[in-house]
Structure 1
Amino acid sequence: MNDVQTSVESYDVSAFIQGIDALRKEANIPGLSIVVVKDHAVVLALGLGYADVENGIPATADTPYNIASVSKPLSAVVALRLVEAGLLDLDRPMAQYSEWIDFCSAFSRQPSIFAQDLSCQPPSHTLRHLLSHTATGTPGTRFSYNPVLYSWASRPMMAVANNSFSSLVEQYVFVPAGMKNSARQHRNLPLRKDLAQRLAPPYTLDNAGMIVRAPALPAQGDGAAGGVVTTVLDLAKFDVALDQSVLISAKSRAEMMAAMQSINGKEFPYGLGWFVQDYKGHTIVWHSGWWENAYSALYLKVPALNLSFIILANSEGIWWDNPLDKAEIERSKFVQAFLATFVVR
């Protein structure tokens, strides 16, 4: 147990930490970091295991990780901030903002699972469809998680702001939230040197089931689906800034965390950058992150209780293979441990 911060008196925090560490070992995760935020304050923050196994560097609450798809809520904040500024319309056709038609046509012919049932004509896709994962089939009629299309959502944001997407995240998220240990990276933007030196390297399992360093991760573009390196404490700052309307208005936040509805009134398990589902009488707003054989992450909010839980790992061990067309947060053992301690009592 490393770098423990805690001030939660009415919960069995010791048993919770022991349970999380047992799950870490069960999932063969070398190191992970967690934070719990209650009523806009960090009440628990620590690291477990090793951020760097070979060099014996322990994981702490200040350890940076690549958070993969947990970047999506941050990207959605940028979109809504641009909407508030009058620069962006989520319901304007994508084709009016970017070279969407050419991309959609080319991608729809690819063998990728994320290209299946992508219908490009007529060109009726909007940014709202991409940010809510309702872009496949007839846009707005079904939910199917699609990180490739979500990544493309950065294009209209860059077009209206005349700036790189990474610069927009810096301007509208990192700086106002005070996230000084966070940065974007992509094929044309190396990771900031101070973070690169502290970054938890990724690990995987070899054929014998032994924990080994993962190979170098493939380079990605400046897209909205991922690209963020940060710490649990910085994500806690994001959490507080989001809830206190520092980043976007309360109205925009409510829109972001409201389950999207189809044209027939069917409710989907996703808002704008967040999964949304009910669990034992509580609305749970969450997002997972998974980089195969490298990193995993989870960011969960219980808005009615002003309660949030964030966990980052240097392997894929947090991931529970959530289906593409559903939200099944209850399948996560880490979430079950958290909810059993802090929510369902």
Structure 2
Amino acid sequence: MQSHFNSAVSRNLTSSHFVRLAIILAACVCMLTTQRLNGQSTILQHAFPANQQPGGGVGSFASNTFKSEFDTEVQKHFDANKIPGMVVLMARDGMVTYRKTLGFADVENQISVTDKHVFRLASISKWVGGLMALKLEEQGMIDLNAKANSILTTIPDHHKSRVVDYLTCRAGIRHYNEPVSPLTPAGWSSTVYHSAWDALPFMWHDPLAVDAGTSHYSTHSYTFLGACLEQSSGKTIPQLVTQLLRNPHGLNTLRTENLSYTAANRVKLYGRIDSDNPEAGNQLVSADNLTWKFLGGGLESSGRDLLRLGMKVCDGQVISHDSLERMLDRIEPDSGYNLGCNTGVENGNRILAKDGGQTGASSYIWMAPDKRMVMVILTNIKQGKASTLGKKLRSIALGTTNAANQSPDLVVKKFSRTGTPYYQNGNLKIPFELLIENQGKAGTPNDFVNGVRLGTNYRWTRFMKTLPSKGKKTVTGTIKINDPGKLNQGRTLTFVATADAPIAAADTSIDPRARVFESVETNNSRILKVKVPGGIGGLQIAQPVRDPNLNPRSPATRTNPTTRTNPNAPSRTNPSGAKRANPKNAKRTNPKGGTRTNPSRTNGKPATKTAPAPTGSDKGKGRKKAKRANSKPKSKAQKSKPRRTNGKRPKIDKSQGETASKDKPKKKNR
């Protein structure tokens, strides 16, 4: 009986154990919502507990308890910019940690947007093109360092760059609104093309916008890249997207946009009624043709598939880890644009990022591969400012605003011109040099942007690596101003160089707004004035009249209220107060017609001679008689001498340039 009892107890304990296990498992299922991503179970949760975060302290990721901070920023951005529809997704360590969808994919039919809806990727297509190029190189299909004209054998002779130069925007290819060749037909971009090679001949005659090897952002450059990939692989870009990315990784919505068929879940496109006023509202816009720039801005995808692609890149599943390192490492230390995307360091974390904007789309993706962290933001309006929101959220996610000991002080110590301004391909170019110094007590926590602006427009920007305390670095560059009419010739332009510039050029995705948090912000700029040669030469510029109130000692305006006289000098005036009308060779007459006084005297009394007043034709005769009567000619000094008052002849000051009449030769009588 005891044995039976023990057996019963054993059975009860065993069944009780299984019940407890079942309860625990059921509780876990209720707490966690799972979703299949990347072929594995991915937990959809909004936050990780802080104690689950690897690492700690400054430089590690902030606690993922920032859902409320994200929600606040996302909602504020959505409302302020009147965005029709927006998707925000974030993943870390293979799991979706944040998902927010707001607005409509189709406003007119009130269809709410989801992470499965398909958006235009705009310039994020360039990053995807970089992944494809690196993958083909891994497969031995192409050498990115090869000369492009060895692959595109019929390309014009002025294209001498390598394939990788098209990927990094250093081949000198033009961008929008830059000079084109007379051989380029109008309206070519509206034609539907089935490959990059088909579209390339319509732009390859255009002149280079800058010298090859110079960084110059260009969407058109990616059509050249696409043609190189096509000629090397024997496949078109739409086929390569499918074979390299879409099929192997289950990215069913990632493709080149084709407007000839209606894609499922494709969002409607919108634009502002007034581009400068969000309050004016939005309107439905038509999709423009993107087939000439598949890799420059012609791809589309859902937010979910784009996030999945980023997660796979972080894990080395799309390209190798070596290729990913190439994408992270800058080709030039001072330039943030690399293999199809921007690179940088923020709060100690290496970052890849790319933004985009075109008709009906504003997009942004950033990732921290070392932390397996990815964020995607897609909108269906060009004015959606996806990158602005993405940078704010990244700052929160990386703990940039909470990092400690950040008190650098970036200053521009030197801003000077290194060469004469010159014109090239319709652009005014001015070479210059900057010396940047960190005078603060701490090093900069992230990369920062130096900029040179003219007025409010930045004409040059460049990323700089983090600077240690008291560190210095010299940066050289060339300011470029589009001026095909040479209207700036002869003008003096005032440029302002700024360290840690608050804004950067278009398509610069690394956050120039993720500021260094300087201790001093008012001393980080310097001015340079440049006189552009040419213009209207040879004209004398009238000197401005000085205001005597501003500069009373100026020689041009100084006045002396009192007349300075020499008391020892004889008077130079006529004692009678009459002015001498003609001091030179005019005939002199006696207006009174009476007595003429000879100031020379011998007996103490004035000698007088009387002559009739000349009238009419006798004027000349009267003057001749007077001269004959007094044969001694008088000097000017004698004529202006005052009467003597003490019986003595007044002394003549020879320093005034006068001589006695006796020293002058006698004139012959006429």
- The TM-score bracket by the shorter chain reads 0.7 to 0.9
Distance 1:281 1:318 in 2: 29
Rate the CA distance shift 1:52–1:342 in 2: closer, same or farther, 3 A: farther
Question: Which residue in the other structure is 1:114 paired with?
Answer: none
Distance 1:18 1:255 in 2: 36
Q: Does 1:73 align with 2:127?
A: yes
Q: 1:287 deviation in Å? A: 0.3
Distance 1:182 1:333 in 2: 23
Gapped regions of structure 2 (runs ≥ 5): 1-43, 49-63, 173-209, 403-670
Q: 1:161 deviation in Å? A: 1.0
Secondary structure of 2:215's match?
Answer: coil
Secondary structure of 2:140's match?
Answer: coil
Q: 1:88 deviation in Å? A: 0.3
Aligned partner of 2:222 among 150, 155, 163: 150
Distance 1:15 1:280 in 2: 19
- Asked if 1 retains the 8 angstrom alpha-carbon contact of 2:311 and 2:373, the reply is no
Letter in 1 for 2:297: G
Distance 2:107 2:238 in 1: 30
Rate the CA distance shift 1:279–1:150 in 2: closer, same or farther, 3 A: same
Distance 1:185 1:222 in 2: 10
Secondary structure of 2:292's match?
Answer: coil
Q: Does 1:50 align with 2:104?
A: yes
Rate the CA distance shift 1:242–1:333 in 2: closer, same or farther, 3 A: closer
Aligned partner of 1:268 among 335, 345, 362: 335
Letter in 1 for 2:145: D
Q: Give the number of the structure whose alpha-carbon radius of gyration is greater.
A: 2
Q: Does 1:138 align with 2:211?
A: yes
- Asked if 2 retains the 8 angstrom alpha-carbon contact of 1:11 and 1:341, the reply is no
- Asked if 2 retains the 8 angstrom alpha-carbon contact of 1:77 and 1:173, the reply is no
What is the aligned-residue RMSD (CA, Å)?
A: 2.2
Aligned partner of 1:182 among 254, 262, 274: 254
Q: After the TM superposition, list the runs of 4 or more consecutive aligned residues in structure 1 that deviate by more than 6 angstroms.
A: none
Letter in 2 for 1:87: M
Q: 1:90 deviation in Å? A: 0.7
Question: As a proportion of its length, which structure holds more helix?
Answer: 1
The Cα offsets for residues 110-169 of structure 1, whole Å up to 9 and x where unpaired, read as xxxxxxxxxx63x421111110111223333x3221111122211011111111111101
Q: Does 1:291 align with 2:291?
A: no
Rate the CA distance shift 1:299–1:100 in 2: closer, same or farther, 3 A: farther
Rate the CA distance shift 1:25–1:260 in 2: closer, same or farther, 3 A: same
Q: Does 1:20 align with 2:86?
A: no
Q: Does 1:128 align with 2:193?
A: no
Letter in 2 for 1:98: L
The Cα offsets for residues 264-319 of structure 1, whole Å up to 9 and x where unpaired, read as xx432112111112334333210001104x11100011233221111000002344
Secondary structure of 2:142's match?
Answer: coil
Q: 1:41 deviation in Å? A: 2.1
Secondary structure of 1:223's match?
Answer: helix
Distance 2:239 2:394 in 1: 34
- Asked if 1 retains the 8 angstrom alpha-carbon contact of 2:46 and 2:99, the reply is no
Question: Which residue in the other structure is 2:273 paired with?
Answer: 206
Distance 1:98 1:80 in 2: 19
Q: 1:33 deviation in Å? A: 0.5
Letter in 2 for 1:306: R
Q: Does 1:301 align with 2:367?
A: yes
Aligned partner of 2:382 among 316, 321, 339: 316
The Cα offsets for residues 24-76 of structure 1, whole Å up to 9 and x where unpaired, read as 12112111111101012222223111111111111111111011111112111
Structure with more relative contact order (C-alpha pairs < 8 Å, separation 6 or more): 1
Aligned partner of 2:344 among 270, 274, 277: 277
Question: Which residue in the other structure is 1:8 paired with?
Answer: 47
Distance 1:31 1:286 in 2: 22
Question: Which residue in the other structure is 1:115 paired with?
Answer: none
Gapped regions of structure 1 (runs ≥ 5): 103-119, 321-328
Rate the CA distance shift 1:26–1:334 in 2: closer, same or farther, 3 A: farther
Q: 1:77 deviation in Å? A: 1.4
Rate the CA distance shift 1:267–1:15 in 2: closer, same or farther, 3 A: closer
- Asked if 2 retains the 8 angstrom alpha-carbon contact of 1:30 and 1:314, the reply is yes
Question: Which residue in the other structure is 1:337 paired with?
Answer: 393
Q: 1:242 deviation in Å? A: 1.3
Distance 2:75 2:330 in 1: 33
Rate the CA distance shift 1:135–1:24 in 2: closer, same or farther, 3 A: same
Distance 1:157 1:225 in 2: 14
Aligned pairs for 1:80-229 within 5 A: 80-98=134-152, 101-102=155-156, 121=158, 123-136=159-172, 137-140=210-213, 142-186=214-258, 190=260, 193=262, 196-207=263-274, 209-221=280-292, 223-229=294-300
Q: How many residues align?
A: 303
Distance 2:165 2:384 in 1: 28
| Residue identity (%) | 20
- Asked if 1 retains the 8 angstrom alpha-carbon contact of 2:123 and 2:354, the reply is yes
Letter in 1 for 2:313: L
Rate the CA distance shift 1:260–1:318 in 2: closer, same or farther, 3 A: farther
Question: Structure 1 length as normaliser, TM-score?
Answer: 0.81
- Asked if 2 retains the 8 angstrom alpha-carbon contact of 1:71 and 1:227, the reply is yes
Distance 1:26 1:42 in 2: 26
Q: Does 1:237 align with 2:313?
A: no
Q: 1:201 deviation in Å? A: 1.0
The Cα offsets for residues 78-119 of structure 1, whole Å up to 9 and x where unpaired, read as 1111111111011111111125733xxxxxxxxxxxxxxxxx
Letter in 1 for 2:273: D
Q: 1:222 deviation in Å? A: 5.9
Q: Does 1:60 align with 2:114?
A: yes
- Asked if 1 retains the 8 angstrom alpha-carbon contact of 2:352 and 2:368, the reply is yes
Secondary structure of 1:90's match?
Answer: coil
Rate the CA distance shift 1:48–1:342 in 2: closer, same or farther, 3 A: farther
Distance 1:213 1:16 in 2: 29
Q: Does 1:246 align with 2:317?
A: yes
Distance 2:78 2:241 in 1: 31
Distance 2:393 2:255 in 1: 30
